[in-house]
Amino acid sequence: MTSPSSAHTENSFHVAQRQFDIAADRLRLDDGIRDILRNCRRELTVNFPVRMDDGSTRLFQGYRVQHSLHRGPAKGGIRYHPGVDIDDVRALAMWMTWKCAVVGLPFGGAKGGVTCNPRDLSLRELENLTRRFTSEISILIGPDSDIPAPDVNTSAQIMAWMMDTYSMNVGHSVPAVVTGKPIEIGGSEGRAEATGRGCAIATRKAARAVGMPLEGARVAIQGFGNVGAPLAQFLHGDGCRVVALSDSRGGIYRESGLDPRAISRFKEETGSIIGFPGAERITHRELDELDCDILAPCALANEITRENAARVRARIIVEGANGPTTPEADRILADRKILVVPDILANAGGVTVSYFEWVQDLQAFFWDEAEINARLETIMVRAYDAVAREADIHAVDLRTAAHMLAVSRVAAALRLRGIFP
């Protein structure tokens, strides 16, 4: 899905396949394994009707794609967005496989989505759409087979409707069928902020690696949602100066720094961060090219391309979003010695705490938030260190290293399991 701020149109699945090829070449992966992992295992497209408030019926298209099941059940979010198409979902499913492997979770990768603009739907229509979509994809999802979670424009409430619909269809409650649920029905402490918390951990590691103190570091964050808003708060808490933020309507800037909590409150009241008192208005492009120390794309894919990579001025890019940087941009950024912490590592905190949620649901025994956060920190730090070590050994950037580590782990599982029958 190409964001409105990017003039360059890229097919996300082609980007994901090119990233895979770079790692597969370096790993000298044989052709058979390469073919299997370069493609998605199962792809379901559903066209389903939804009864609208005015009595009419509207047809929607949705998808659930499982890229790999070699390391365990498939795991991946559900996205509601007008730009969602099958190739976006394929790319996101493949990245989920690598993400779970890079942090060592016993999952394969999946993703789902519905092509829709949730802003045009009433709450009842959103619920009808979610319940019917869940029923349509129930031939794939399940606590042992494929476990959805929130992504762009999907929330804990939507996960609650998914869990309830699946449970109604099977006749008993199955909390472990989705993660990112409200705490009251089997959600986990710490899940809402987990992706942002994991990104903050990755940012601290990256800053240490380049010898940059976080105190006073100037941060620009694109996207102020599930990922961007908590990340802004964590980095603000670390002493960073969050100078710029954006949402789908544009960006805001204040040289002396913005208070993320005040902005969250403002967004709750007004629906956007735009118009926050005392902040200057900037464009999406101005935010990408801002003079800052840390840039965190936390919105959509294809933000940093060959067209604007040479103008990025940050020293560190932390990818809260999936797929924000194209392979051509990666080369330009590497030449310019800008450290990119890749999506499959940087934003893996979300799926890590989703894994904790699934484990808690399966054993019906829940952990407190301190335990969740400590386990998340351990996993993120271990994964960052392993990727950095791989990058040093092979003299490659962190994305290539993360892909090499992940692809080799999935390929090992595939070899051990063999080809059925």
Contacts with ligand NAD, residue ranges (CB under 6 A): 3-5, 150-153, 195, 222-228, 246-248, 284, 298-300, 320-322, 347, 350
DSSP code of residue 309: G
Decide the pairing of beta strands 108-115 and 339-341.
unpaired
Name which of 33 and 74 has its Cβ closer to ligand NAD.
Answer: 74
Name which of 34 and 181 has its Cβ closer to ligand NAD.
Answer: 181
Name which of 284 and 399 has its Cβ closer to ligand NAD.
Answer: 284
Q: Cis bond leading into 421, ω under 30°? A: yes
Name which of 130 and 153 has its Cβ closer to ligand NAD.
Answer: 153
- Indicate the helix (H) or strand (E) that contains 270: helix 260-270
Instruction: List, in sequence order, every residue forming a beta bridge with 241; answer none if it has no partner.
Output: 218
Both tokens of 313, joined, read 């001025």
Please enumerate in sequence order all residues whose Cβ is within 8 A of that of 19, keeping only pairs 6 or more positions apart, or say none: 327, 399, 403
Catalytic residue among 111, 181, 205, 267: 111
CB 122 within 8 A of CB 53: yes
Name which of 325 and 360 has its Cβ closer to ligand NAD.
Answer: 325
Smallest separation, CB 250 to ligand NAD (Å) = 8
d(CA 367, CA 35) in angstroms, rounded, equals 41
Smallest separation, CB 30 to ligand NAD (Å) = 31
Name which of 128 and 347 has its Cβ closer to ligand NAD.
Answer: 347
Instruction: List, in sequence order, every residue forming a beta bridge with 316; answer none if it has no partner.
Output: 294, 339
Whether 337 sits among the annotated catalytic residues: the reply is no
Burial class (CB in 10 A: 0-12, 13-18, 19+), 7: exposed
Smallest separation, CB 34 to ligand NAD (Å) = 26
| DSSP codes of every residue in 25-93 | HHHT--HHHHHHHHS-SEEEEEEEEEE-TTS-EEEEEEEEEEEE-TTSSEEEEEEEETT--HHHHHHHH
Q: Which residue is nearest to ligand NAD (CB)?
A: 225
Smallest separation, CB 260 to ligand NAD (Å) = 12
d(CA 366, CA 183) in angstroms, rounded, equals 10
Closest Cα partner for 24 from 9, 39, 11, 12? 39
d(CA 9, CA 19) in angstroms, rounded, equals 17
Smallest separation, CB 182 to ligand NAD (Å) = 15
Name which of 29 and 305 has its Cβ closer to ligand NAD.
Answer: 305
List C-alpha distances in Å: 153 to 39, 294, 347, 379: 26, 25, 17, 27
Smallest separation, CB 387 to ligand NAD (Å) = 17
Please enumerate in sequence order all residues whose Cβ is within 8 A of that of 63, keeping only pairs 6 or more positions apart, or say none: 43, 44, 45, 46, 84, 86, 89, 112, 113, 114
Smallest separation, CB 324 to ligand NAD (Å) = 7
**Active-site annotation, residues:** 111
